[in-house]
Structure 1
Amino acid sequence: MSDNRINHQPAFLLSSRPWSESSLQIEIFSRDYGRVVMLARSARRRQSELRGVLVPFVPLQLSWYGNNELKTLHRAEWVGGWPQPQNQALFSAMYVNELVLKLTAREDSLPSVYHAMYAVLQSICGGEHLAALRYFEWSLLHTLGVAPDISQDNLEQAIVCHERYWLRAEHPPVLLMQAQQLSAQEKGIVVHGHTLNALSNQSLASQPEWHPEALRLTRMLLDFRLPDGILSRQILKQLQQLTG
């Protein structure tokens, strides 16, 4: 019976935890196989070549085998490309990993998510993370099929930059003047057409004035999908309160 060997697969380390006295159980997100959980044997031993390789937030190349859900890591290579994130950038990178862990299913091939993850971690580690995070959030939600279509309103009309729209999770934008009849109990936010278009065509970096609205939009959509909250966001908020 084949042991289903996968060789030289681009991937990122999402999480790791001790497994027995000398090994690690790791969860990775790979380009072609999505989120995979595997055993890294002897990775905790001081002489193990894996100790300095299995690090998060930088590109890796992994080889593994196994027929069950828990695979066995065969080889890991550090590809490099950018430094480890520091300070607030570290929390942004942790946030990216947490979203992927919580929103994707194991062994669901999502190459576009891998490429979006590559782009956002490269930006975060390079010191540019605000707009990049919004693009990543939107790309992830869109790929998973849970983002509303913000290229047009509920009447299938193109979004107008100077107009304001009412947005709710799982609903297309509605012109604010038409949304007054919605129940006051409906949860949603008001967003300018400028913001919707900037998020769609990834031009937030050149239009920073629309970033706070884009943040409120993606946060609303993520909170709807993750009602128990996002731990990395909570930790960063607590640290900011302590140091503020």
Structure 2
Amino acid sequence: MILPYPFPLDIQSILNNKNIFRRPPTRFGKMHHTITHPFHTPDQLPMTNQRINHEPVFLLASAPWRESSLWVEVFSRRYGRVALLARSARKRQSELRGVLVPFVPVSASWYGSQELKTLHRAEWIGGWPQPQGRALFSGLYINELMLKLTTREDPIPELYDALEAVMRAVCGENSHTAALRRFEWTLLNRLGFAPDLFHDGNDEAIRAEETYWLTPENAVVPIEEAERFNPRNHGVAVGGNILIQLREGDFTHPESLGQSLKITRLLIDNLLPEGIKSRQVLQQLQQFSFGV
């Protein structure tokens, strides 16, 4: 059966909202990236007419479109995030039913000259079982980050590879915490939203034995220089050894996992002040389950 996106992401309300959400370029100087609203109207960006065949993609979200179709957002390896119109996908006899599901790779073919392309074929190419329980919310969280932080038609092959790796871990491993942290850092780094963890704000190499102050919109500085920032400018104190482990993707130590969570959450929450819906729903369910 076809799965319009599960409840933690209210895609229909996003689709109905015509406002475009933009942010200024990152201050870290790696990329000048603009966040735009996940769903634009089809005529906003002129695109060249091309036909794409058998491109591996992950479904990020879908919403009903008109009487029987679906508007889907996918992330592909060679073309980045793409908006596709799956005509008649909600009809009982549609070949797309059961294929357009999240969390597993799908082979998609599409064509079109506008930002909203037409999906003309999709095939399941094998993968792994759908996530269950808490892992389901991890998958929703990953897709929500991809939908909100990436821009259309911006190919980042390394990000697709990271998405594939984390989905494989979420769906197939009992513990996927390290995989989530690694994905978050790859996402932030590739999009230009991550600070430089090789050098501090004084252009000195990060040293394992030092302690640093990290904020969302400034370079990392030695802890003794933290007082120069506005007290309301939130940040975290973190050891240089943790910063080195984070930049190298080393999450073998429990301390590095815990500190990395604080860092990535600080950066992501700064980018998405409206909050992350999948996280909010999980917290509500946990409160309901335990009567807290």
TM-score by length of 1: 0.94
Counterpart residue type for residue 237 of structure 2: V
Map Cα deviations across residues 91-149 of structure 1 (whole Å, 9 max, x no partner): 11111111111011111112121111111111111223211111111111111112100
Partner of 1:180: 227
User: 3-state SS of the aligned residue for 1:106?
Assistant: coil
Matched residue of 1:185: which SS? coil
Q: Which residue of 2 aligns with 1:144?
A: 191
- Give the alignment of 1:1-244 within 5 angstroms: 3-127=49-173, 128-204=175-251, 206-244=252-290
Looking at structure 2, the residues matched to 7 and 118 of structure 1 have their Cα atoms a distance apart, in angstroms, of 19
Are residues 8 and 179 of structure 1, via their aligned partners in 2, closer, same or farther at CA, if it must alter by over 3 Å? same
Q: Tell me the CA shift for residue 3 of structure 1.
A: 4.7
Change (3 A) 1:21 1:164: same
Q: Which amino acid aligns with 2:125?
A: V
Contact 2:137 2:282 in 1 (8 A): yes
Task: For 1:130 and 1:118, locate their aligned partners in 2 and report how far apart those are by CA, in whole Å.
Answer: 15
Is residue 5–residue 64 contact of structure 1 (8 Å, CA) maintained in 2? yes
Give the conservation status (yes or no) of the 8 Å contact 2:246–2:256: no
Secondary structure of the 1:39 match is strand
Deviation at 1:181, TM superposition (A): 4.0
Matched positions, count: 242
CA apart distance, 1:37: 0.9
Cα deviation code 1:73-96 (max 9, x no counterpart) = 111011122111111111111111
Task: After superposition, give the CA deviation of every residue in 1:51-70 in whole Å (9 maximum; x if it has no partner).
Answer: 01110000111000111111
Looking at structure 1, the residues matched to 75 and 231 of structure 2 have their Cα atoms a distance apart, in angstroms, of 41
Secondary structure of 2:60's partner? strand
Question: How far off its partner does 1:10 sit?
Answer: 0.9
Q: Distance in 2 between matches of 1:20 and 1:173?
A: 49
The Cα shift of 1:227 comes to 1.1
TM-score, L = length of structure 2:
0.79
Seq. identity, %: 56
Q: Would you identify which runs of 4 or more consecutive aligned residues in structure 1 move more than 4 Å?
A: none
Is residue 61–residue 72 contact of structure 2 (8 Å, CA) maintained in 1?
yes
* Alignment-mate amino acid for residue 50 of structure 1: L
SS of match in other structure, 1:180: helix
Q: 1:147·1:170 contact (CA, 8 Å) conserved in 2?
A: no
Pairwise CA RMSD of aligned residues?
A: 1.5
Compare relative contact order (CA 8 Å, sep 6+) and give the higher one, 1 or 2: 2
Check the 8 A contact 1:8/1:62 in 2, yes or no. Answer: yes
Partners of 1:198 and 1:207 within 8 A in 2: no
Question: Per the alignment, in what secondary structure is the counterpart of residue 50 of structure 2?
Answer: coil
> Which SS does the other structure have where 1:156 is aligned?
coil
